[in-house]
A and B are shown apart, each in its own frame.
Chain A
């Protein structure tokens, strides 16, 4: 501790313990940003390509709503709002935690062993590995779509709703981060299983890009109570639009996002600890 006056066990120390991984992450990520910036043309092209692909997905949503008129009672702008919420939450989570899906590669190559002897949390090191600002190419257009959609929909803005929306978006990001870490942990046990995780991470994004009521009651139940994907875009959308749940699920669920997010993160952290305990190095 640089600050010698901090009393042991005081609140300042607790805050430092919480902030330390954040600070470590920021430093490691900054190193990668500087490395990636060595190839500015490649970085610009990749960011642009990602942005164009988001616009193509937006085009797909517009085409789908153009043919269908409304889906689950959602108009095209409301549908774009759902898309914007899902794509921005998954995009931000992918930027910060997406690298966890390469855990299997670190295990195979032995670089996880090197991370374990460093005085920084291995999760922070795995997550910050190859951090790339090109993912902003996904986040920025997604947020722009969300903004356009919010402007285009008939939302009765109250102070409560204006404050709750960012909170629910933050919860959505945390839930997505938790899903990335939890599914990444599978690779502690089956190192080849990287793609199985994609069915929940990228698959989760594909699922939540549309009003999930179209998938039917069984799927909505399982993504509410088992894998909490419903809290990424669906419940926040119902909250902002002040709309009754078309499937008659409890209205209180739309306020549950933050609680679910904390539970999901705690669950993911426990899984990570369990996986790391289970880890046996392949040796040299």
Chain B
């Protein structure tokens, strides 16, 4: 555990170096948030209520999505976990020599990164949303803790998916196609492009149950306290997120075992 804490801290520290990129990223997320929010405001001006959502709900979801973009890296069409490149170059051999599991090492490092970007890029983006639009805030300290827990689970699900994409490099020669597909499909099915509430309800109900929704739609609905949540309550929703996180991490651990039995490291 101490190793993981140290790796987590290094991951956090490492990303504090790129300050200009942080400001640029928060600016871009805010601009996209504002554009999406204004389109949705125009829609809700014509129809004030769509499947239980009003204008404030939609705008809030937009800024939850933008604040979590850098945490879950859901829109990246290029490999967004260094592990992917290390599998391609063979540097992963060094990672495999370490006396800690590959999954645990990268999870700790990536959560460090996610924590840092959440507070220094996600929170400022959300604040821009608060300044410009009627964004909904948690109802009290307990609600706020539940929302933060949901965001943390979103970060784990985001990592677990990217870990699986990276490991696919052990079987595919060129994983760029897979990353592109993931980065293009993810925002649509997660509720980032449009809140799932605007989709046809059958489609929305199916998408809510997939892991991608756990990175935008579910956290947003937890913040908004919607009864469309899986299980009808915040706890049901958190359980769904936790279940996806656990299932995807387990799949990652299993795939790591398969990959390490398969890998042949050249030279010495």
Interface residues of chain A, those whose CB is within 8 Å of chain B, are: 39, 41-42, 45-46, 49-50, 52-53, 56-57, 60, 63-64, 67-72, 190-196, 198-199, 202-203, 206-207, 210, 214-216, 219
Contact = CB atoms under 8 A, between A and B. Distances in A.
B180 A199 contact: no
Contact of A203 (B23, B31, B46, B174): B31
A203 B35 contact: yes
B27 A199 contact: yes
Please give me the 10 A-B residue pairs with the lowest Cβ-Cβ distance, nearest first.
Answer: A196-B24, A53-B184, A45-B177, A192-B20, A214-B42, A199-B31, A68-B46, A199-B28, A192-B21, A195-B24
Contacts, number: 103
A52 B177 CA distance: 13
Given A71-B46, A192-B24, A198-B28, 4 more contacts: A45-B178, A46-B181, A193-B24, A194-B21
A52 B186 CA distance: 12
B184 A195 contact: no
A215 B24 contact: no
Contact of A49 (B24, B38, B185): B185
A41 B198 CA distance: 35
Interface residues of B, number: 35
Contact of B43 (A50, A71, A216): A71
A49 B174 CA distance: 15
Residues of A contacting B: mostly = helix
A214 B39 contact: yes
Nearest to A49: B181
A3 to B, nearest CB: 43
B204 to A, nearest CB: 11
A194 B28 CA distance: 10
B193 A68 contact: no
A215 B193 contact: no
A264 to B, nearest CB: 20
A141 to B, nearest CB: 13
Interface in B46-105: 46-47, 50
A67 B25 contact: no
A42 B32 CA distance: 29
21 contacts: A41-B177, A45-B180, A46-B176, A49-B180, A50-B184, A52-B184, A60-B188, A64-B39, A64-B43, A64-B194, A67-B43, A68-B46, A69-B46, A71-B46, A195-B25, A195-B27, A203-B28, A203-B35, A206-B35, A207-B35, A216-B38
